[in-house]
Amino acid sequence: MQAVANAIAERISSISVSSTMKVAADAERLRSEGIDVVDFGAGEPDFPTPDNIKQAAVRALEQNFTKYTPAGGTAELKKAVCERHALDFGTDYKPAECLITVGGKHVIFNLMQALINPGDEVVIPVPYWVTYKDVVNYAGGTCVFVETDEAKGFTLTAAMIEPYLTARTKLVIINSPSNPSGAVMDRAEFEQVFRLCAERGIYLMTDECYCKFLYDSEPFSIASTPGAKDTVLVAGSLSKTYAMTGWRIGFGLVPPAIVTAMNKLQSHSTSNPCSISQKAAVEALRGPQESVGIMLAEYHKRRDFVVQRLRAIPGVKCAEPRGAFYAYPNVGVVIGKSGIQNSLQLCERLLAESHLAVVPGEAFGTEQHVRISYATSMKELERGLDRLHQFIVRNS
Ligand SMILES: Cc1ncc(COP(=O)(O)O)c(C=O)c1O
Please name the residue whose Cα sits nearest to atom 3 of ligand 1. 209
Cβ partners under 8 Å of residue 341, min gap 6: 335
Per-residue confidence (pLDDT) for residue 7, from 0 to 100: 85
Q: Report whether residue 105 contacts ligand 1, using a CB cutoff of 6 Å.
A: yes
Q: Report whether residue 43 contacts ligand 1, using a CB cutoff of 6 Å.
A: yes
What is the average pLDDT score of the chain?
95
Centre of ligand 1 to C-alpha 306, Å, is: 22
User: Is the pLDDT confidence value at 46 over 80?
Assistant: yes
**Which pLDDT band holds residue 23 (cuts at 50, 70, 90)?**
confident
Centre of ligand 1 to C-alpha 105, Å, is: 6
User: Is the pLDDT confidence value at 171 over 80?
Assistant: yes
**Which pLDDT band holds residue 170 (cuts at 50, 70, 90)?**
very high
Cβ partners under 8 Å of residue 129, min gap 6: 175, 178, 179, 180, 207, 364
Q: Give the pLDDT confidence of 48-107 residue by residue, as tens digits.
A: 999 999 999 999 999 999 999 999 999 999 999 999 999 999 999 999 999 999 999 999
Q: Which of 212, 239, 278 to mutate to test the pocket of ligand 1 (most atoms within 8 A of CB)?
A: 239
Provide mean pLDDT across the span 358-383.
Answer: 95
Per-residue confidence (pLDDT) for residue 11, from 0 to 100: 87
> Is-above-0.85 flag for pTM?
yes
**Which pLDDT band holds residue 3 (cuts at 50, 70, 90)?**
confident
Q: Give the pLDDT confidence of 97-143 residue by residue, as tens digits.
A: 999 999 999 999 999 999 999 999 999 999 999 999 999 999 999 99
Per-residue confidence (pLDDT) for residue 10, from 0 to 100: 87
Q: Report whether residue 241 contacts ligand 1, using a CB cutoff of 6 Å.
A: no
Q: Give the pLDDT confidence of 185-203 residue by residue, as tens digits.
A: 999 999 999 999 999 999 9
In the chain, helix, strand, coil percent, each to 5?
Answer: 45, 15, 40
With vertex at residue 140, the alpha carbon angle to CA 204 and CA 210, rounded to the nearest 5 degrees, is 40
Per-residue confidence (pLDDT) for residue 24, from 0 to 100: 79
**Which pLDDT band holds residue 286 (cuts at 50, 70, 90)?**
very high
Q: Give the pLDDT confidence of 341-354 residue by residue, as tens digits.
A: 999 899 999 999 99
Q: Report whether residue 110 contacts ligand 1, using a CB cutoff of 6 Å.
A: no
Provide mean pLDDT across the span 361-384.
Answer: 95
**Which pLDDT band holds residue 45 (cuts at 50, 70, 90)?**
very high
Using CA atoms, how far residue 249 sits from 205, 234, 242, 330, in Å, is 18, 14, 11, 33
CA atoms of 220 and 225, how far apart (whole Å): 10
Identify the bridge partners of residue 359 per DSSP, sorted by sequence position.
371
Q: Give the pLDDT confidence of 303-338 residue by residue, as tens digits.
A: 999 999 999 999 999 999 999 999 999 999 999 999
Q: Kindly give the residue spans of alpha helices, DSSP state H, lying in the chain.
A: 19-32, 51-62, 75-89, 104-115, 130-138, 158-161, 187-200, 256-268, 275-286, 290-311, 343-349, 378-395
Q: Give the pLDDT confidence of 210-227 residue by residue, as tens digits.
A: 999 999 999 999 999 999
Which atom of ligand 1 is nearest the CA belonging to 239? 11
Give the rounded percent of residues in the chain with a pLDDT score beyond 70: 100
**Which pLDDT band holds residue 13 (cuts at 50, 70, 90)?**
confident
Q: Report whether residue 208 contacts ligand 1, using a CB cutoff of 6 Å.
A: no
Identify the bridge partners of residue 369 per DSSP, sorted by sequence position.
330
Centre of ligand 1 to C-alpha 375, Å, is: 14
Which atom of ligand 1 is nearest the CA belonging to 248? 11
Q: Report yes or no: 182 and 321 within 8 Å, Cβ to Cβ.
A: yes
Q: Report whether residue 245 contacts ligand 1, using a CB cutoff of 6 Å.
A: yes
User: Is the pLDDT confidence value at 5 over 90?
Assistant: no
Q: Report whether residue 209 contacts ligand 1, using a CB cutoff of 6 Å.
A: yes
CA atoms of 204 and 222, how far apart (whole Å): 9
Give the rounded percent of residues in the chain with a pLDDT score beyond 90: 90
**Which pLDDT band holds residue 4 (cuts at 50, 70, 90)?**
confident
Exposed, middle or buried by CB within 10 Å (0-12, 13-18, 19+), for 39?
A: buried
Per-residue confidence (pLDDT) for residue 14, from 0 to 100: 80
Per-residue confidence (pLDDT) for residue 336, from 0 to 100: 92
Identify the bridge partners of residue 235 per DSSP, sorted by sequence position.
207, 252
For 41-62, give the DSSP string.
---S-SSPPPHHHHHHHHHHHH
